[in-house]
Amino acid sequence: MKTGLSTRTATLLLLGGATMLALLALPARRTEPAKLDLATLVAQATPAAGAPAPEACAELRAAVVEILARDARAFTELVPAWRRAGAELRGELLAAVAERADPAGLDFLAWVATYEGLENGRGLAEACLALAPRASGPEARESLERLCVLLESEDDACVQTAVLALSRARVDAAVPAWIELLERPSRAVRERARRALEQHSGLALGAAPERWRAWHDAELAWLEDEAPAVLAELELDDDARVLAALRALAPRRLARDELALAVAATLDHPHAVVRAAACSALESLAVPAALPALALALDDEDEAVARGAWSALRRLTGLDLPFDPAPWREHLGRG
């Protein structure tokens, strides 16, 4: 398979070093992904003295992106590659992970933030912004929670980017830090934190930290004291109690993924009025985890339920696809 080696070889030779040919060797071996070794690649690309040329940095970044795109196992090599990289090339590793925009890179970002400090905070925050909105599942959630440490940076630009990333990913663990940022000297940081809190809660409580703390404390107390009993109500045969439980769950703003999965289970309820209420509750909870169940509900035999699912899908995705299951499933399948 031709890989454009002649052009890249000429480019690297002009950069002044046969060792930079290591940037070619690994990306070219397309039939042997198991042998890819990012750590060796980065070590050979790091000059013995001085900083690498900008062209070499760009070439390394392109090679790393190519490797990560071809073999998901290469994400496990990012930590040893980081340890062997010089300061300039560490920034290129973060930029490559951001360019690839694969949530599989979140664990690497969390490792850097946890064990390497915030010296590369801006690069970490920008990579997090690229990956976070596409992340799902408990492992990604854990990594995002560890990346909340970026909110402790003294670099206002890093903090603003991290707030935006964690807000788009709806990370509950970031809420206390956002509240603390309302007292930050930087007006831009305070505004970004306030907007994140408003989007997360659906409330407009202003810039006073004490009001947000009261809301957050109340949400946590509800989850601990009341949520278990409300969730149990969903499994009862009494429609009135199930409907009341759905109404109680709809406005919650913490642990929404878990609550939405419980609500989605009621889309199989024998009574259409309950299924329609479940669609409405999922629309209010507004979490991507509900999308597959809502897409299936488009086939519901009751038109009110199917249209409720359609309304929820339109709000959650921002798309204006027709009232037809096929285009919705095609779109969600691509996602």
Residue 231 belongs to domain with CATH number = 1.25.10.10
* 68 lies in some domain: yes
- Can you give the residue range of the structural domain that contains 23? 1-100
* 209 lies in some domain: no
Where is the domain boundary, 100, 119, 146? Answer: 100
* 175 lies in some domain: no
Q: Which amino acid is at 16?
A: G
Q: pLDDT tens digits, residue range 221-242?
A: 999 999 999 999 999 999 999 9
Where is the domain boundary, 85, 100, 115? Answer: 100
User: What pTM value is reported for the model?
Assistant: 0.82
DSSP conformational letter for 31: T
Domains: count for the chain: 2
* 319 lies in some domain: yes
68, 27 Cβ separation under 8 angstroms: no
* 190 lies in some domain: no
Where is the domain boundary, 100, 132, 155? Answer: 100
User: Which tokens in the block code for residue 172?
Assistant: 């509950």
* 289 lies in some domain: yes
254, 213 Cβ separation under 8 angstroms: no
Q: pLDDT tens digits, residue range 152-203?
A: 999 999 999 999 999 999 999 999 999 999 999 999 999 999 999 999 999 9
* 173 lies in some domain: no
